[in-house]
Amino acid sequence: MDYLEIFRPWLSDDLMLVSLPYLIFIALGTWLISLYLQSVNIIDYCWPLMLGAAVLIYAERTGLSNPVNQVLLGMTVVWASLMSWFMVKRGRNRPEDKRYREYRQQHGRYFPFKSLYLIFLPQAFLVWALSTLFAVALSASSNSAGSNGVHWSLVHSIAVALFFCGLTFKAVADNQLHRFNQQVVQDHRVLNTGLWKYSRHPNYFGEFCVWWAWLVFAIPAGEPVILLIPVLIIWILTKMSFVKLMERDIRNRRSGYLSYMATTSRFIPWLPKESVGAEF
């Protein structure tokens, strides 16, 4: 089997290769801004916009005459705008994220320069890898006027419904967390109400549903390589998001978190093992 064949549909016209220089340029610009701000937090605001930029490039190259392409681009723009807006809202007047502060301590005074290849460029290449899904879906439907093009189907409708369910779930969870962080005074309190009663990371679950929706949306393209994207997303949400580090930090600061972990599903929302009140 020629394994290059599975990559040929979007590499044949250099579709993905066109976006890579733009993503690297955005990463470099974001890195320079981070040097001025003396904070790496800006990468969290920009990475959704980087993916949006890649999809815009693919859409411009493949055309928007097909409703499939129009809807996929619209979903991406809505997601990227909402994600970036919330990141900015959450990060206002907050110090640099604890993860990045630990990186600074590990790498000393050279961290501002090392952050280019430790954080910013890896993000660009990660976004580029994730954008494979969109390159496949957009290129497959770009010739819809012909017999080989992908036309709107029930699968696309199901994907759109799943997308908005996941996006709503994530938005509600993020806002519940934001309100809790603004109001909490006692350090031992734990957010265990709302969606957080059923999952310790409902915002990540909502984000995962969004990416599954995009996967379903791309299924009519018939390219098996898109199945790699959910695996990559699981890795990002469980490893790159530093879930273990984050939970360890909260556990050390809030005495009730151990009990919360024992009764609440880590990822997929589920009924708690026992009744959970507003406070431990």
Q: What is the pLDDT of residues 107-123, one digit of tens each?
A: 888 899 999 999 999 99
Percent of the chain with pLDDT over 90: 45
- The Cα-based distances of 212 to 92, 159, 165, 225, 261 in angstroms read 30, 8, 11, 14, 26
pLDDT at 182: 82
Same domain, 25 and 120: yes
Q: Which of 119, 150, 181 is the last residue of a domain?
A: 150
Is the confidence at residue 276, as pLDDT, over 70?
Answer: no
Q: How confident is the model at residue 275 (pLDDT cuts 50, 70, 90)?
A: low
Residues 252 and 276 in one domain: yes
Q: What are phi and psi of 273, to 5 degrees?
A: -65, -25
Q: Considering the chain, what percentage of its residues have pLDDT values greater than 70?
A: 86
Whether residue 3 lies inside any domain: the answer is: no
- Number of domains present in the structure of the chain: 2
Q: Classify residue 129: in a domain, yes or no.
A: yes
Residue 274: pLDDT above 80? no
Top pLDDT among 246 and 136 is at: 136
pLDDT score for 183: 79
Query: In the prediction, which pLDDT does 278 show?
Result: 43
Q: What is the mean pLDDT of residues 259-272?
A: 91
Does residue 4 belong to any structural domain of this protein?
Answer: no
Same domain, 21 and 136: yes
Residue 97 lies in a domain: yes
What is the residue-averaged pLDDT of the chain? 84
176 and 206 assigned to the same domain: yes
Looking at the structure, do residues 170 and 54 belong to the same domain, yes or no?
A: no
- Of 135, 150, 165, the position where a domain reaches its end is 150
- 215/156 Cα distance (integer angstroms): 10
Those residues whose C-beta lies under 8 Å from the C-beta of residue 103, and which sit 6 or more positions away, are: 40, 111, 115, 118, 119
- pLDDT at residue 234, rounded to an integer: 74
Looking at the domain assignment, is residue 5 inside a domain?
no
**Residue 152 per-residue DSSP state:** -
- Asked whether residue 251 is domain-assigned, the answer is yes
**37 within a domain of the structure (yes/no):** yes
> E strands within the chain?
none
103 plus 137 within the same structural domain? yes
Q: How many residues are given for the chain?
A: 280
Q: End of a domain among 126, 150, 174?
A: 150
Q: Are residues 172 and 84 in the same domain?
A: no
Domain extent for 234: 153-280
Assess whether 117 and 138 both reside in one domain. yes
Residues 108 and 138 in one domain: yes
